[in-house]
């Protein structure tokens, strides 16, 4: 009887010891878990692939862009959010232009392809932005000229386009108006038109100009105007139908002058009094373009 009771008591003690040991282990594990949950530093966040960060412009519409920032956020006016890599593309979270949902763009070289719309967003570089802005000026100012006497559009010559492009580059070189980029030169208020979409050949011309592969035919011109697009003698005080504006909307402070190719005397802008006309240029029609440089 004694042996049985002794054995039973011994077994109970062993079970109690085992329970205590298990409790200690559980407590230890729980302590470690609690430490890493509340005290240990969080694991590092997934790294943003810096090489993907940058500005992507919508192909054929460079004023629209998506900017992927190095901090993992994006900006597509007027929306912001987070972006991340997934598969062979990137996801823009809470994309406002898609009703607030996530949108996936496939990465193809330096392009983000929105397969749902077919839109291509091309990564820009400082050089590519310069090409686009210079090409837009050339297309807008010298793609073609409306000859108000002939009543038709006349395609500009390559030299006329080159000369217009060089006025932008010359202004940039001299820091005209404090400009430090092609875009700043082009978008300065009241200086250039730039709303036309440039054709491929005009983009190619802009590239050659930026690479200094075409000499400046103007000898440093920074200004130009189109006499055919100015008021003529006899237009004073009138709405000019052929130009779609009233006489008073034009700067006519340069006075009346004869211009070959135009049947009446033409009013020049006032700034022509302080700048020097570069003279007739080969393959540049004076009725369409007159270029000026600083004295």
At 89 the pLDDT is 92
> Which own/partner contact pairs does 291-295 have at CB distance under 8 Å and 24+ positions apart?
291/163, 291/167, 291/218, 291/221, 291/223, 291/224, 292/221, 292/222, 292/223, 292/224, 293/170, 293/218, 293/219, 293/220, 293/221, 293/222, 293/223, 294/220, 294/222
Q: Domain-by-domain residue ranges, the chain?
A: 1-43, 50-124, 127-294
Q: Is the pLDDT of residue 5 over 60?
A: no
> Does this model's pTM top 0.85?
no
The chain-wide mean pLDDT, for the chain, equals: 85
User: Is the Cα torsion angle 38, 44, 48, 50 positive or negative in sign?
Assistant: positive
DSSP 228: G
Across the range 61-82, mean pLDDT stands at 87
Tell me the C-alpha distance between 129 and 160, whole Å.
Answer: 22
125 neighbors 138 (Cβ within 8 angstroms): no
Across the range 181-186, mean pLDDT stands at 94
Fold of 50-124: Lipocalin (2.40.128)
What confidence category does residue 266 fall into, taking pLDDT thresholds of 50, 70 and 90?
A: very high
Q: Is the pLDDT of residue 49 over 60?
A: yes
Residue labelled with tokens 């011994």: 10
Across the range 234-244, mean pLDDT stands at 96
The residue ranking higher by pLDDT, 197 or 33, is 197
The secondary structure element, H or E, covering residue 257 is: strand 255-257
pLDDT in tens, 84-103: 999 899 999 988 777 778 99
What confidence category does residue 30 fall into, taking pLDDT thresholds of 50, 70 and 90?
A: low
**Tokens standing for residue 267:** 């009013």
Tell me the C-alpha distance between 154 and 24, whole Å.
Answer: 93
DSSP assignment of 77-109 equals TTEEEEEEEETTEEEEEEEGGGTTEEEEEEEET
3-class secondary-structure state, position 155 = strand
* Burial (0-12, 13-18, 19+ Cβ within 10 Å), 142: buried
Among the listed residues 280, 285, 259, the one whose alpha carbon sits nearest the alpha carbon of residue 157: 285
């Amino acid at each position: 009887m004694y042996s049985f009771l002794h054995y039973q008591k011994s077994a109970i003690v062993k079970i109690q010891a085992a329970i205590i040991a298990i409790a200690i282990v559980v407590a230890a594990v729980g302590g470690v878990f609690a430490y890493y949950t509340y005290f240990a530093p969080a694991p590092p966040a997934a790294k943003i692939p810096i090489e993907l960060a940058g500005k992507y412009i919508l192909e054929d519409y460079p004023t629209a862009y998506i900017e992927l920032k190095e901090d993992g956020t994006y900006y597509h006016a007027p929306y912001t959010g987070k972006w991340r890599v997934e598969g062979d593309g990137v996801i823009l979270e809470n994309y406002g232009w898609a009703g607030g949902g996530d949108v996936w763009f496939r990465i193809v070289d330096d392009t983000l392809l929105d397969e749902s719309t077919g839109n291509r967003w091309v990564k820009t570089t400082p050089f590519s932005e310069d090409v686009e802005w210079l090409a837009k000026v050339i297309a807008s100012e010298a793609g073609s000229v409306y000859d108000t006497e002939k009543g038709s559009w006349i395609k500009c010559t390559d030299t006329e386009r080159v000369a217009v492009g060089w006025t932008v580059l010359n202004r940039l070189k001299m820091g005209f108006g404090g400009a430090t980029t092609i875009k700043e030169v082009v978008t300065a208020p009241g200086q250039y038109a730039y709303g036309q979409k440039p054709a491929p050949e005009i983009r190619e011309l802009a590239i050659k100009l930026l690479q200094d592969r075409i000499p400046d035919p103007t000898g440093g011109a920074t200004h130009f105007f189109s006499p055919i697009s100015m008021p003529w003698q006899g237009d004073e005080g009138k709405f000019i139908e052929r130009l779609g504006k009233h006489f008073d909307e034009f700067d006519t402070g340069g006075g009346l002058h004869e211009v070959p190719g135009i049947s009446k005397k033409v009013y020049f802008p006032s700034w022509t009094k302080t700048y020097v006309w570069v003279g007739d240029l080969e393959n540049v029609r004076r009725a369409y373009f007159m270029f000026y440089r600083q004295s």
